[in-house]
A and B are shown apart, each in its own frame.
Chain A
């Protein structure tokens, strides 16, 4: 990729971040937050997009963001008030701006009419105070910025410069490579003198005594204050262009608290001449919040080693900048995860070999192996944490979706989001987008009533859709709820009967009726709407959630609304499991589902009909399911007293005791997809490779808890009718 293309990619990545920032800010304003910093943040987001777009000559994007920015600036300066109507307009404008960004990135087009209308509305908003004072608009939006100066003190550093002087503090720490490539610090410092007056402070705190000195290594660093009327960050940066990767470089405008992150440096670079203004704005705003001292380099001390000096530099950077980040190709992370997965398997194999050698637990080899196991686990957790991302990246798409669906359906909707910072594996996040989109559409289209109906029912005109994410028992739970009419159970049941999905005389509980909407082809919409699709939605939603190893439940109260609850694994790569033996096979039961294990006593086991058994566990009876028979490993169930029962709890809270022959132990296993490597198998979620190199199947607890029909007679039960029995309906948890 050529350098410009690479910068462009970064620009668009940053645009996405700025758009998210913009939307978050506008939503806060909509919620009544009066903090001026929010308006500033919103303004900065649009301003940054405009600046970068200008550098790439993305004219449509520049033009729209310019009009948008002008309106925001008028709000920022207090010239116009941001009432609810104005904020709604700004939110819709943010949607259009996002369209422009994506069109510029992907080469598509935007809805010109909509964009034009929005631009006109924004222009009208900007002139909303009725004053004749309008900015001089050249029409193309390039080059000019309406910047209102805000007073801030640069005096300490600039030593009373001329009013238009600017000071940049440059921290420059050359590395050995800089000198090895025949570059020279002195020349760089001399170049800086061409930009303006410089004040140089030498940092020799990392310099060792002669005996420890490697004369070709680099130990010195400098802080240089460059002051001049024409000095810009871009110009300063240009001086160091040739030594970019061979030195530590930090350029901060005097008075600005925050150092630019490497990523934003790139886009600022790309903005060329505009950087001054942008930096000034930032400086002014930061100065308003906290007057920042100039960067302090620690006083020289004789015994300081170079590492300590570097550490001090790192700490200084950490103090003044937000957490540093780097962008890494996902492929590299995935490769790392795959390798760590192999490491875990390898470590398990090694442990098995050692165990087979009959070494004592206290032997140094076994102890060393334990340490290795801990280390492996830590590495695995750390690597998985790299992939963990806040669900915010998915959630942030929904405010726009809600606005658009509300507009299409004529309903008034407020979206409340909770727990956006809950983290989950990136793969899970990516695959959550479609099902959540569908469910939110459904909640508005089918769940919420029209405003008049709501008023008639004694509810506020505005319906509420709530989207919440939280961690619970090692899984992520996502709830989508609405305060609409709830599920009309008699209608749902009637439709299911009409479509032949259930027997007319089926006796279903409320929960079972609610779950009918997940059946393939079920649709309650009298007319197929543009919004909710063709009634295959909830079936598809359930399948996609199940393909993530997740479960979906619904609860509904007539007249009060419905809640869909998704429960998903945090990662699709590893699992803590109980390794068990069943009919000579080794299986893994997910530990999160197991409540306890016990040895059944004959007196506690009761037969229920010819094929079913229950077991009494502390005053309650739960189904006793023989895994060997359930999975078809054997046809005759051995006496329960000869095996071990695992008391498990399914996603819906139902419990069952799973009979296995023996427990081998508890182990962390790396999940390997059966679907990708073989094919879906009923009752099995995935597979793994054990320490002895054999493949073991991972049980799908919820699937094996469902009793299989025994003969045709059993299928008349309503409960069975709504449960998946076909192989394609059974869930599989997958990983790469």
Chain B
């Protein structure tokens, strides 16, 4: 996927909270229709709203039949996913959330 020229890369902000989710939602919507690479390298704080946005995005991409990948997750990001019980978000072959 990374080699694909059509891949849209979205770099997540460091704090994914109430303030961040609105703009990020728009970013995801405008990236619909292309494979996506979500870079989580800078994330220091992932909140519940951020998590649900990512989960919804992944489900939407899966529904569209397009690749969705979370790359370079930071330690904080992985720790937050574990805390939320959502570790499989970063799984390489991510299954559809709503299977």
Contacts and interface: CB of A to CB of B under 8 A. Distances in A.
B46 A215 contact: no
Given A182-B18, A215-B25, A210 B60 contact: yes
Contact of B52 (A184, A211, A219, A302): A219
Interface stretch (A6-14, A152-160, A185-193, A568-576): A185-193
Given A185-B48, A216-B49, A222 B84 contact: yes
Given A210-B56, A210-B57, A202 B25 contact: no
A202 B84 contact: yes
A216 B50 CA distance: 9
Contacts of A204: 52, 55, 97-98
Interface in A169-223: 174, 179-180, 182, 184-186, 189-190, 193, 200-202, 204, 207-211, 213, 215-216, 218-220, 222
A709 interface: no
Contacts of B91: none
A209 B21 contact: no
Contacts of A207: 52, 55-56, 59, 97-98
A652 interface: no
A190 B85 CA distance: 12
B56 A209 contact: yes
Contacts, number: 94
Interface residues of B, number: 32
Contacts of B45: 186
Given A184-B17, A210-B57, A220 B98 contact: no
A184 B47 contact: yes
B36 to A, nearest CB: 11
A301 interface: yes
Contacts of B80: 186
Interface in B53-91: 53, 55-57, 59-60, 63, 80, 83-86
B46 A300 contact: no
Interface of A: 174, 179-180, 182, 184-186, 189-190, 193, 200-202, 204, 207-211, 213, 215-216, 218-220, 222, 300-303
A207 B32 CA distance: 18
Contacts of B53: 213, 215
B48 A186 contact: yes
A208 B55 CA distance: 10
Contacts of B21: 215-216
A186 B83 contact: yes
Q: Which of A184, A213, A215 has the most CB of B within 10 A?
A: A215
A200 B52 contact: no
Interface of B: 17-18, 21-22, 24-25, 28-29, 32, 45-49, 51-53, 55-57, 59-60, 63, 80, 83-86, 96-99
B18 A216 contact: yes
A464 B24 CA distance: 77
B1 to A, nearest CB: 19
A342 to B, nearest CB: 44
A200 B22 contact: no
Contacts of A190: 83
Given A193-B83, A202-B86, 5 more contacts: A186-B46, A190-B83, A207-B55, A213-B56, A222-B84
Contacts of B85: 200-202, 222
Q: Which of B29, B80, B84 has the most CB of A within 10 A?
A: B84
A546 B95 CA distance: 74
A218 B52 contact: yes
A18 B8 CA distance: 64
The 3 closest A-B CB pairs, nearest first, are: A302-B98, A200-B85, A185-B48
A443 B47 CA distance: 70
Contacts of A220: 48, 51-52, 55, 84
Contacts of B52: 204, 207, 213, 215, 218-220
A568 to B, nearest CB: 55
A606 to B, nearest CB: 85
B71 to A, nearest CB: 19
B44 to A, nearest CB: 12
Given A180-B18, A207-B56, A216-B22, A200 B48 contact: no
B32 A210 contact: yes
A190 B79 CA distance: 11
